[in-house]
Amino acid sequence: MTADDKVSYIRQYFERMTASDINGIIEMFEPDGYVLSPFLGKMLAADFFKKLGNASNASKLTVFDVLLGENSDSGAAHFEYDWILASGEQIVFQGIDYFKFSKNSKFESMSIFYDTHALREEVGDKYANA
C-alpha cells in the first residue's frame, strides 16, 4: 500500500462514518482490530462501531488534514465531528484519530484523541443506554 493509498484509506473511513456505514467501517479493520476511546476505553472495533451506531442518529465528519507516520505503518487525521445523537442532541468538536495499519493494509487499531472535559460536562455519558 503506497502512502497515497493509506491517505485515501483513512479518508474513506471518514466518508463511511459520515454515511453511517457501520459494516463498511468494521470491514476496514482486522477481525481483532481495536479502538481506544476516551469514553469507552479499549474495545474490539466491531463492538465499538456497533455501539457508536446505536448511539448515533447522523454524523458529518470534515477532515482537515491526514498525516502519515515515520515508519509508514501509521497515520493520523485532524477532523471536525458534527454528531447528532440518537436522542436528537447535537455535538460538534474537533479531534484526531490515530490509525495503525496491519501487514494486510487494514486498520490494526485506532486511538481517538479529543478534549473530553467540555463534552462530558455538556452531555454526560451518552453511551450509557446504547
How much of the chain is in helix, strand and coil states, percent to nearest 5? 30, 45, 25
At residue 119, does pLDDT exceed 70? Answer: no
- Name the nearest CA neighbour of 25 among 64, 2, 59, 1: 59
Mean pLDDT of the chain: 91
What CA–CA distance (Å, rounded) separates 118 from 43? Answer: 23
- Name the nearest CA neighbour of 87 among 129, 39, 45, 44: 129
Share above pLDDT 90 across residues of the chain, in percent, rounded to a whole number: 70
pLDDT tens figures, 43-52: 999 999 999 9
For 26, 66, 107, 110, the CA distances from 31, given in Å and listed in that order, are 8, 24, 10, 13
State residue 100's pLDDT score: 98
Instruction: Note the pTM of the prediction, 2 decimals.
Output: 0.87
pLDDT tens figures, 1-10: 899 999 999 9
Mean pLDDT confidence for 62-85: 94
Mean pLDDT confidence for 9-30: 97
User: Which domains, from first to last, does the chain contain?
Assistant: 3-123 (3.10.450.50)
For 18, 23, 42, 67, the CA distances from 104, given in Å and listed in that order, are 25, 18, 22, 20
